Structure 1
Amino acid sequence: MPLIKDAKATWILAWPIMIGQLAQTGTSFVDAVMAGHVSAADLAAVSVGASIYTMLIVTLMGLLLAISPMVAQKIGAKQHGDIPALTQQSLYQGLFAGLVAIAIAHALLPVFNHLGLSAEVNDKAQRFLSAVSWGLPALAISRVLYGYSSALNHTKPMMIIALISLALNIPANWLLIYGHFGFPALGAVGCGWATAFCMWISALLWLIWICVSPVYRDTHPFDRLRGIHWPTQWQLAKLGIPIGITFFVEVSAFSGLSLLVARLGTTSVAAHQIALNFGGLLFMIPLAISTALTVRVAQAAGAGHWQEARMIGQNGVRLGFIIAAMSACFVMLFDSTIAAWYTQDAQVFALATQLLFFAGLFQFSDATQAVASGILRGYKSTRIPMLLHITAFWLIGIPLGYAMAFGLGPFEEMGAKGFWVALVIALTFAALSLLYLFRKVSLLKLSHTPH
């Protein structure tokens, strides 16, 4: 299978996912801008509240990702009749996980009392998190149906629904943040309620889309109501829990590093945030490719075509590396221009330009580990990748970053650059380890294939 033809097949699946993910990221941007026009306290409340909220939604998304490779393998094996029951079991699991996430969000509200926030920001951050948490069950429903749809090679609904949600978020914020047409002016708290409302609208749109579109007719998850099937629940959990932990490890590591950077002062925080924000936008490309590769590898695996699965994975790694090289060159060549988009402060600009160099270097290992993780999910290999991510982020990245930033042990004090050097090292370890695991798993499957 030539690289260009294979890359095209992956890209057809991936580009709607990428736009949908950018639209979801855009919602956070809109929230920050619109809350910031009320007051600095409202912007701070949204930012602080979102730090916990983001960890919850990313973990929830990981937990529910198991549906995609499981349905894709059923497609490959031509076991279409098993898909409705499997998807329905995943919806039960998603609703339960969403309700647990609400409980966790409310249990974490007292954490804000210990962050040294002003009384006003503390109160608004708690009420923002409380409000936005009510949308988590809807988010869970959407993610399950998105995983089911993408496994059937239908990724455009995710893009369209995410764009509708982004467009709807703006007037919902306008009504609830500023208080128009008789609605109370709730500021940051209104932002939370608007986001929760848009999550429920997204879930409703998914339900309508799947009920109306003929492409889901053969595998319709709502053909009849079934009870909870515990063996299937266990299969989903066995695959999904390690993915959820992996996602939590990564997002908590970045949040933890951001908190540690705060000790270095305002200039370092601002420059770090610029590099992290732009790097996060670029990451949407390999993340979308990773999701597409999960589906394609799982379909080939389900059909027992292990040579094809291995070839799709190998070509996916090459595609990820090409995109990483393009992203890295762009960041390194235009670091000054990118920094100028974010700030006019001379000190922040100078440091951000330096950190963007590392953000460019970062693309190679970050894209490779994301793509390799997606391929391994297609093979239903999630436990060892989870352990590798824990090692990379919690045992290498954070301790090494702290030592390099503050000059502990044999290291000279590097400031914020130390954290970025450590991130590059940690992600390089993750990328190389996951590539080795992919090689090992794929060759093992080939060796068990009858010739």
Structure 2
Amino acid sequence: MNLETYTKEFSYNLRLAYPIILGMLGHTIVGIVDNIMVGKLGPTELAAVSLGNSFVFIAMSLGIGFSTAITPLAAQADGRRSVAEGRSAFHHGLYLCTILGVVLFTVIFLSKPIISFMGQPENVVDLAKPYLDIVAFSLIPLIIFQGYKQFADGMSETKISMWATILGNVVNVFLNYLFIYGIWIFPELGIVGAAIGTIVSRFVMLGYMHFQMKNMVKFHPFFEGFSIKKIKKEVNLKIINLGAPSAMQMFFEVGLFTAAVWLSGRLGITNQAANQIALSLASFTFMFAMGLSVAATIRVGNQKGLGDYKQLRVVAISIFLVAILLETLFALIFILFHKQLPALFIDMDNVNDLAANTEVVAIAAQLLIVAAVFQISDGIQVVFLGALRGLQDVKLPMYITFIAYWVVGFPTSVYLGIYTTLGAAGIWIGLLAGLTTAAIFLYIRFNKLTKRLIIENSAPQPRADEFVI
């Protein structure tokens, strides 16, 4: 096939993906806003937010990863025009996401004492504990929100969650401003104020998502007939069999980046603060690839429902090419502005912390150079993960990600970061090694699987104008 076969899919891919991207950016922007506003308080406060969020991000990765099982089931049902299949995926998915949100909050809350035994600076730990309590509870509305979002995404209605996260961010910024700095009649709560903004914004997002979907005609059939008595064990198991490996895939990657936070903390407050800045920026650009990954899940799921594996492969590769172009652009931005971007997170006019803040910016600038390189690997691996998820192929990719991140990436981070003079940059080179390994083997898996499916399924390919997703 020539290049035009893939590029003609770009327009539709971007129309489908941009609301998902904006929605996912909303989650990241909540963290970035917290980091920028807290960063003005000082490097110790920023390190405390980083430490607290490292626990929440692990739990969040499991919840969000699990919820992604709903998307391919909804997309397949949409491709088949089966309301019954879609309703089943929606009801059982929400049921499981609600339970999982409560479980994750409980685990994080009970795990809080572990912070004191992680070799982190004592003043950072003292600040992180109350922040963690509040943000951990926000996992409950967030994971339930994901249940709604993943179903709507699977039905190709991707704009609802976009508007929900935009609204959530407006609420978060407003409340942060009031509670972090103590504006007007509100108390000055520092990083606890940032946690309050986060939890309220996530409840607002959930409420908006439910209200909009409930009142949209397209979703009326899917809200009908919900009852705990109708929840079936076999459907729950089907979602769990898809969701658990997907959750572990995301857990392995987020766990590696969380380990980078902890390793940086062992190097000192400035290294941990710099790591948080670079991680915030890299997470922001990663959301573009993550949005394209969800688009790949939706479109691949649709084509799987239609049984058209040739077009499925075309769709997936076209999304992969878009991801490569975008991540290359972000890599260039990181290289060109690696010194200027970290300064946005730090108050360089603060004379008392000037030396520490200068060091934070210098370390973060080094990390962004490494991040520029792994942008491309990160984009490749997440898009092919999304495509494989659309095929409901999740178990082997789970093993691939474990090996890439924890057999290759983590040991490299430990050795280069702790036992060489590279420091934080060495930790991030380990991240690069893990992401690149994952990208290579996930591509190999997708390539082999789709070629085999094309051979095994001889259904004729429909014309593009015969079916509109």
Q: One-letter code of the match for 1:220? A: F
Report the CA distance shift for 1:230/1:330 in structure 2 as closer, same or farther (over 3 A): same
Match of 1:379 in 2: 391
After superposition, give the CA deviation of every residue in 1:148-169 in whole Å (9 maximum; x if it has no partner): 1111111111111101011112
- 1:330 aligns to what SS in structure 2? helix
- 2:454 aligns to what SS in structure 1? helix
- 1:220 aligns to what SS in structure 2? helix
Match of 1:446 in 2: 454
- TM-score by length of structure 2 reads 0.87
Are the aligned partners of 1:85 and 1:221 in contact in 2 as well (CA < 8 Å)? no
Match of 1:370 in 2: 382
CA apart distance, 1:223: 4.4
Superposition RMSD on alpha carbons, in Å? 2.7
Q: One-letter code of the match for 1:381? A: D
After superposition, give the CA deviation of every residue in 1:45-67 in whole Å (9 maximum; x if it has no partner): 43322221122112211111100
Q: One-letter code of the match for 1:402? A: V
Which of residues 24, 31, 34 is equivalent to 1:31? Answer: 34
Match of 1:58 in 2: 61
Match of 1:129 in 2: 132
- TM-score by length of structure 1 reads 0.90
Match of 1:221 in 2: 223
Which of residues 111, 114, 117 is equivalent to 1:114? Answer: 117
CA apart distance, 1:240: 0.4
Query: 2 CA distance for matches of 1:60 and 1:416?
Result: 29
Match of 1:301 in 2: 304
Query: 2 CA distance for matches of 1:387 and 1:14?
Result: 27
Report the CA distance shift for 1:138/1:329 in structure 2 as closer, same or farther (over 3 A): same
- 1:434 aligns to what SS in structure 2? helix
Match of 1:396 in 2: 408
Of stretches 230-239 and 132-141 in structure 1, the one that deviates more from structure 2 is 132-141
Query: 2 CA distance for matches of 1:336 and 1:175?
Result: 30
Query: 2 CA distance for matches of 1:275 and 1:36?
Result: 13
Q: One-letter code of the match for 1:437? A: R
- 1:355 aligns to what SS in structure 2? helix
Report the CA distance shift for 1:443/1:55 in structure 2 as closer, same or farther (over 3 A): same
CA apart distance, 1:94: 0.7
Query: 2 CA distance for matches of 1:191 and 1:275?
Result: 20
Are the aligned partners of 2:5 and 2:314 in contact in 1 as well (CA < 8 Å)? no
Matches within 5 A, 1:81-160: 81-115=84-118, 122=125, 124-160=127-163
Q: One-letter code of the match for 1:56? A: A
After superposition, give the CA deviation of every residue in 1:354-373 in whole Å (9 maximum; x if it has no partner): 43332211112111001111
After superposition, give the CA deviation of every residue in 1:307-330 in whole Å (9 maximum; x if it has no partner): 111111122222222222222233
CA apart distance, 1:120: 6.9
How many residues are matched? Answer: 446
Are the aligned partners of 1:294 and 1:376 in contact in 2 as well (CA < 8 Å)? yes
CA apart distance, 1:5: 2.3
CA apart distance, 1:348: 5.0
Are the aligned partners of 1:45 and 1:124 in contact in 2 as well (CA < 8 Å)? yes
Matches within 5 A, 1:266-281: 268-281=271-284
Query: 2 CA distance for matches of 1:235 and 1:316?
Result: 27
Of stretches 190-199 and 119-128 in structure 1, the one that deviates more from structure 2 is 119-128
Match of 2:75 in 1: 72
After superposition, give the CA deviation of every residue in 1:80-133 in whole Å (9 maximum; x if it has no partner): 222112200111101110110121021112123324667775455333222233
Which of residues 426, 429, 446 is equivalent to 1:421? Answer: 429
Are the aligned partners of 1:77 and 1:304 in contact in 2 as well (CA < 8 Å)? no
Show structure 1 runs of 5+ residues with no match. Answer: none
The alignment status of 1:360 with 2:362, answered yes or no, reads no
Report the CA distance shift for 1:315/1:180 in structure 2 as closer, same or farther (over 3 A): closer
CA apart distance, 1:391: 0.6
Query: 1 CA distance for matches of 2:426 and 2:126?
Result: 35
- 1:335 aligns to what SS in structure 2? coil
Match of 1:285 in 2: 288
CA apart distance, 1:270: 4.7
Q: One-letter code of the match for 1:309? A: L
Are the aligned partners of 2:417 and 2:426 in contact in 1 as well (CA < 8 Å)? yes
Matches within 5 A, 1:171-210: 171-174=174-177, 176-177=179-180, 186-210=189-213
Of stretches 110-119 and 78-87 in structure 1, the one that deviates more from structure 2 is 110-119
Of stretches 370-379 and 338-347 in structure 1, the one that deviates more from structure 2 is 338-347
The alignment status of 1:46 with 2:58, answered yes or no, reads no
Of stretches 283-292 and 31-40 in structure 1, the one that deviates more from structure 2 is 31-40
Query: 2 CA distance for matches of 1:28 and 1:36?
Result: 12
Report the CA distance shift for 1:41/1:427 in structure 2 as closer, same or farther (over 3 A): closer
Show structure 2 runs of 5+ residues with no match. Answer: 349-356, 460-469
Query: 2 CA distance for matches of 1:438 and 1:355?
Result: 31
Are the aligned partners of 2:252 and 2:402 in contact in 1 as well (CA < 8 Å)? yes
- 1:414 aligns to what SS in structure 2? coil
Are the aligned partners of 2:46 and 2:273 in contact in 1 as well (CA < 8 Å)? no
Query: 2 CA distance for matches of 1:332 and 1:320?
Result: 18
Query: 2 CA distance for matches of 1:372 and 1:121?
Result: 38
Of stretches 56-65 and 288-297 in structure 1, the one that deviates more from structure 2 is 56-65
Q: One-letter code of the match for 1:450? A: S
After superposition, give the CA deviation of every residue in 1:28-80 in whole Å (9 maximum; x if it has no partner): 23334445567776555433222211221122111111000111011112222
